[in-house]
Structure 1
């Protein structure tokens, strides 16, 4: 968790693409099994999709039951990272994690982990404040990268600082994707359930039931072809 910064946002596309690739491979396997009438492929396909479905349900259940614990742990790790790595309020220090923190302050218009409400804040325990000639040089005792609407090319002296904590700002940024992610998740679960049902309908050789429940696929699958064991 030492790199809890914009890395979380950058990882979102991978979190969507990788499951998509897995689903595509499973779909290709299922279509091949249905087209070739190889029962063992259909059985394996149904088992794989069912296991994937169960894993998703478990993950969702764990998230719902452990949400507060997870959020507390993330916040704790962010505070630890800030304390151990924040060395100066620039983006050119020798500590890459310190630079990432400053980039996040500017990108999300936030400051520290918790909201800044006084000169006593999350930066007090960092090297930036415990080392002579650092945060004591500013009246607000917060980094100049916390100023609102700045970037690495326009970093001013500490003035009009952002007081929102980066934990809340990062959480809000991630939640902005929640509707799309939930929509994709439930759509995927519905498709997986449908795919498992169709696989077992083909496996059962009940052609009339297959035509009733899967009319679209029936148009392209050779239902009269001999089944291969």
Structure 2
């Protein structure tokens, strides 16, 4: 088996893997769209760019399908046009990924400020604990799933419209924070947008009953704010995301080089013939 054949089949194999990467991105995007309360959580950040990011992931996954097809057919058929187009598209993708990485690093502080301001602002849009609007369900979901309370801590709720309006429905009439700030034993506590109180660890003690002080361990995250929880979540996943990003970029560069090698080999084989 000659060098050109080896390069061709390596390119075919790697494009099969590239095809799976596209499938994974599509799956992630579709999961975010159809998973329970994902868009309610995104609504709390209330930014079109963030919501559009989900659709960008889906489009990127679909684009990778097309690119992988170009590589597969170009290598199998030894088509210089398809391989050339494939290499060009890969070059553009690599450049975009590099630019996105640089922008992310340069604007990290702006993202932090944006998340803080949006969390604080949307708290005032919280209606009530048993409401099914996007902000109420979003904040309930965030506080339960991320085990946190408020933006900076549980005291943030006291100054919100929900906290100062005595007419809104509350599970605890004198409560200064929603029941979703209480620790739960099962995150399925949110059912169809409403809260099932049977899954909470101890609602009475969460609100300071039974001699408990506030904050206490019966509160989600002991009353810590959701901004810190978001940061912890990002830090925990940043190494994984960064590693995947570097690996994907290296993989794409290898595919780019292989495509060029196959193109040049085709020229040499045609000259020999």
CA deviation string 1:129-165 (max 9, x = no partner): 23124589436x2223212236432352424333111
Question: Do structure 1's residue 146 and structure 2's residue 181 form an aligned pair?
Answer: yes
SS at match of 1:111: coil
Residue of structure 2 in register with 1:36 after alignment? 77
Q: Distance in 2 between matches of 1:27 and 1:51?
A: 14
> Unaligned regions of 5+ residues in structure 1, if any?
6-10, 209-223
**Cα 1:101–1:62 shift into 2, 3 Å:** same
TM-score (norm. length: structure 1): 0.72
Q: Distance in 2 between matches of 1:52 and 1:175?
A: 26
Q: Structure 2 matches for 1:25-174, cutoff 5 A?
A: 25-83=66-124, 85-88=125-128, 90=129, 92-116=130-154, 121-133=155-167, 137-138=173-174, 141-149=176-184, 151=189, 152-154=195-197, 156-157=203-204, 158-159=207-208, 160=216, 161=219, 162-174=222-234
CA contact (8 A) 2:144 2:181 kept: yes
CA deviation string 1:84-103 (max 9, x = no partner): x1122x2x215331122123
Residue of structure 2 in register with 1:22 after alignment? 63
> Unaligned regions of 5+ residues in structure 2, if any?
1-41, 47-51, 190-194, 209-215
SS at match of 1:110: coil
Q: Distance in 2 between matches of 1:113 and 1:4?
A: 12
State the superposition RMSD in angstroms. 3.2
Q: Distance in 2 between matches of 1:166 and 1:62?
A: 25
CA deviation string 1:114-139 (max 9, x = no partner): 124xxxx3224422123124589436
User: CA shift at 1:15, angstroms?
Assistant: 7.8
Q: Distance in 1 between matches of 2:149 and 2:255?
A: 48
Q: Distance in 1 between matches of 2:248 and 2:254?
A: 10
Q: Distance in 2 between matches of 1:205 and 1:64?
A: 40
What is the total number of aligned residue pairs between the two structures?
A: 198
User: CA shift at 1:2, angstroms?
Assistant: 3.5
CA contact (8 A) 1:29 1:45 kept: yes
More helix by share: 2
Q: Distance in 2 between matches of 1:13 and 1:127?
A: 31
User: CA shift at 1:42, angstroms?
Assistant: 1.1
**Cα 1:94–1:38 shift into 2, 3 Å:** closer
